[in-house]
Amino acid sequence: MTTVTLQRIDALGVITLDHPPVNALSRAVRAGLLARLQEALADDGIQTLVITCAGRTFVAGADIREFDLPLQEPHLPEVLAALEASPKPVIAALHGTVLGGGLELALACHYRVAATAATFALPEVSLGLIPGAGGTQRLPRLVGAPLALDMIVGGTRLDASAALGAGLIDGLGEGEPLALAQGFLRDHPPLSPRPTAVQTVPPFDPDAFEAQARGLLRKLPGQEAPVLALDALRGAWQLPLSAALQRERELFVARRESAQARALRQVFFAERALAGRNRALAKAAPPVALRQVAVIGAGLMGSGIALCLANAGLATVLIDTQPQALERGRATIDSYFSGALAKGRLTADQANARAALIRCETTLDAVADADLIIEAVFEDLAVKQEVFRQLDRLAKPGAILATNTSYLDIDAIAGVTGRREAVIGMHFFSPAQVMKLLEVVRTRAVAPAVLATALQLGERLGKTTVAVGNCHGFVGNRLLAVREREATLLVEEGAAPEQVDRVLREFGFPMGPFELRDLAGIDIAWRNRQGRGESLSPAERACDLIEQLHARGRLGQKSGAGYYRYEPGQRQGQADPLVAGLLAAHRQRRGLTPRSHSDTEILERCLFVMINEAAWLLEEGIVEQPVDIDLVWLHGYGFPRYRGGLLYHADQCGLERIVSTLEGWSAALAERGTRISPRLRQLAAEGRRFLDS
Ligand code: 3HC
């Protein structure tokens, strides 16, 4: 239900927008606003106007759902121009998240007052857009070019006190926004119209501005919108106002149709749909109340998980039977909180309260009161099974037993307990307090309430929480393994690791497969390969670069050398002639004549084998929906958001083309023990897409 009402309170005309859930500026809202504005201007009894919103927030932006439709009148810039031209003063009374078109609406008003908890941003670039209703022109006039740059290109969000300090708003306080506007009017008689657009941008240092812009763009490689947003912003001092507004609008309209904007919209809605599905599941099987959570193992992972729990206000017991390990864990936790305090992200009271939520213990019987126990010990099936045997004995009835394994068989872990229905996987990503992804791994016997509890906890921790089935590596690491295998085979055939890494970085990954391997550790890959034993195909076994690097003590960044060489204290690797020599000798031993690879072949080999494996994941029922695979790789593995996700990207490439390319490699794929997924073939044959299936 959408309503825009005009209410008269003495000489005040109050226009209230009511369009749940976030008062997005749909066509109906824009039309209603324009109509009520005209009524208010025609009413001689009204001297001043207030624009406010019902519900939890002021306008949170244009209506993103309309971006796939043709433009519909009245257009937002026209509505805002009418508002700004009002001969009666207009006050925006703000609360909640004043975002995008919502902030542009506020900027077109003559005065702005806000509730203390309000926040302000122009997040359009995160949707592949630029502000399209005057944001790039009015914002710099109020807050100056440097801050406008941070907000428009860098997505910086201001809280209300920062907004007041920057001159974005004119007043703030506790209480109802309408009452704040009335108070403001009382304190500032008589108010007269004060259009933002007629002001000029305050003077600034152009060289410093350009340096700041270059710095921001460097952090956003591959994204088109920030570059165009900067272009539009420069218009605020380089062009006459009407020309600058027109340029901004043209760029915005063109962006709506762009591939990047479409991909980013897809991700925006996919994330919200996932949260909705998790909520529905939690409703169907009421989750267990969590009063206390125990974490076993105080390594980087265990202490990171404890931090996540404490940050969400959960009483946590961190247990490690080795006192020194526990001490290191406590030190990690303390340094995290002192860092948060120093950076101003937490107050001293908040930091102390959260740190106090974590109690450290050295014996496993400290799990006795825990409602949920998350195991994060060494990645070895026998070690984990032993821990679970003990937990089964020590945990109270009804407690949930979760493992943070990243690829082991969780049914085999559950099988050693007498409560298989209470065992589940909760695969956090390192560092757990930073990474957004949580894979919740269903086991064969898991009870619905246990699954619902894990999903609900993930949401509470602020994670993108994806339910997946139990298989080697689950979704994320299973796909990572096929990409790494393909990348290694490319290198065996003659490509250089640095070429493969560059190609994947240019596609938009933050790092390439070999850089990632050096970061994660050659020893981890080595152990994994040892664990896979007979299941390695002959081609994989013969391509034993990991064993060769491991034998030379090249364990990756931690040992100063892996696929690359690292100068002390450097995280950026250098190509190493020693590795080139090792590769040449390896090829010679195997009788392989090195050949060169085009960048396209490298990219397609790495991505298409992942897409094929993803189709197998769907075939095996490991995920509920194709989009879940995309969310895992977007949030856990740096898949470029502006490409929409692995399977969204596959749909854009065309499944028929992918299948025919894979068919061209079928002999080589067979050597690696890989078959083309029948599901992928079927979708391609029917001309369908993953995300519609
Ligand atoms: N348009 C349409 N629907 C929107 C929306 C928008 N701008 N913003 C949020 N929604 C919907 C969500 O899809 C969700 O719907 P659902 O319940 O059916 O899944 C519902 O509102 C609630 O959203 P969240 O679950 O995200 O609720 P939160 O409370 O966690 O977050 C929020 C609220 C901070 C407003 C967040 O939704 C958000 O960041 N929204 C996007 C804001 C944005 O990017 N605005 C700029 C749009 S582009 C623009 O304005 C162009 C202009 O320059 C012309």
pLDDT the model gives residue 538: 86
Say how many Å lie between the CA of residue 256 and the centre of ligand 1: 16
Closest atom of ligand 1 to CA, residue 135: 53
Q: What string of DSSP letters covers 81-139?
A: HHHHT-SS-EEEEE-SEEETHHHHHHHHSSEEEEETT-EEE-GGGGGT----SSHHHHH
Amino acid at 228: L
| Cα-to-centroid distance, 231 and ligand 1 (Å) | 26
Percent of the chain past pLDDT 70, that is, above it, reads: 100
Strand, coil or helix: what is 1?
coil
The pTM of the full predicted model, rounded to 2 decimals, is 0.94
The CA distances from residue 312 to 287, 303, 642, in Å, are 17, 14, 30
Where do the domains of the chain lie, and which CATH numbers do they carry?
3-256 (3.90.226.10), 288-468 (3.40.50.720), 476-692 (1.10.1040.50)
Q: Is the pLDDT of residue 355 over 80?
A: yes
Q: What is the mean pLDDT of residues 217-237?
A: 97
User: How much is the average pLDDT of 354-381?
Assistant: 96
The residue nearest atom 38 of ligand 1, judged by CA position, is 60
Residue of 318, 308, 313, 320 whose CA lies nearest to 291: 313
Say how many Å lie between the CA of residue 53 and the centre of ligand 1: 15
Of 164-178, 293-307, 441-455, 664-678, the range with the lowest mean pLDDT is 664-678
Q: How far is the CA of 23 from the centre of ligand 1 (A)?
A: 9
* pLDDT reading at 264 higher than 80: yes
Instruction: Answer for the pair 38, 83: CB distance below 8 angstroms, yes or no.
Output: no
Map 591-654 to HEC letters.
CCCCCCCCHHHHHHHHHHHHHHHHHHHHHCCCCCCHHHHHHHHHHHCCCCHHHCCHHHHHHHHC
Q: Which of 407, 398, 403, 404 is nearest to 416 (CA)?
A: 403
The predicted pLDDT at position 183 comes to: 97
Mean pLDDT along residues 351-357: 96
pLDDT for res 672: 86
Long-range pairs for 661-664 at CB < 8 Å and ≥24 separation? Answer: 661/604, 661/608, 662/608, 662/609, 662/612
Query: Does residue 512 contact residue 567 with C-beta atoms inside 8 Å?
Result: no
Residue 541 and residue 579 in contact, taking contact as beta carbons nearer than 8 Å? no
Confidence check: pLDDT of 175 > 80 = yes
pLDDT of 202 reads 97
**Atom 15 of ligand 1, nearest CA residue:** 272
Identify the active-site residue in 124, 439, 498, 604.
124
The pick from 56, 64, 271 for probing ligand 1's pocket by mutation, whose C-beta has the most ligand atoms within 8 angstroms, reads 64
In ligand 1, the atom with minimum distance to the C-alpha of 122 is: 46
CA distance 193 to 198: 11
pLDDT of residue 560 exceeding 80: yes
Q: How confident is the model at residue 86 (pLDDT cuts 50, 70, 90)?
A: very high
Atom of ligand 1 nearest to the CA of 273: 19
Mean pLDDT of 264-292: 94
If one counts every other C-beta atom within 10 angstroms of the C-beta of residue 544, the result is 18
Determine the pLDDT at residue 276. 95
Which atom of ligand 1 is closest in space to residue 99's alpha carbon? 45
pLDDT at 505: 97
Range with lowest mean pLDDT among 206-215, 281-290, 303-312: 281-290
pLDDT at 2 over 80: no
The residue annotated as part of the active site, out of 66, 73, 104, 613, is: 104
Asked if residue 1 has pLDDT above 80, the reply is: no
Per-residue pLDDT averaged across 574-585, rounded? 96
Mean pLDDT for 389-406 is 97
Ligand 1, CB cutoff 6 Å, lining residues: 21-22, 24, 60-65, 76, 97, 99-101, 104, 123-124, 127, 129, 131-133, 135, 272, 276
Separation of CA 122 and ligand 1 centre (Å): 12
Confidence of residue 533 (pLDDT cuts 50, 70, 90): confident
Q: 104 catalytic, yes or no? A: yes
**In this structure, what token pair is assigned to residue 141?**
């006039």
CA of 533 to the centre of ligand 1 (A): 48
Confidence at 540, pLDDT banded by 50, 70, 90: confident
Rounded mean pLDDT, 465-474: 96
Banded pLDDT at 690 (limits 50, 70, 90): very high
| Confidence (pLDDT) at 135 | 98
Check residue 693 and give its pLDDT: 79
Protein residue whose Cα sits closest to atom 35 of ligand 1 = 60
Residue nearest to atom 53 of ligand 1 (CA): 131
Instruction: Look over the chain and give the mean of its residue pLDDT values, rounded to a whole number.
Output: 96
Question: What number does the ligand 1 atom closest to the CA of 104 have?
Answer: 53
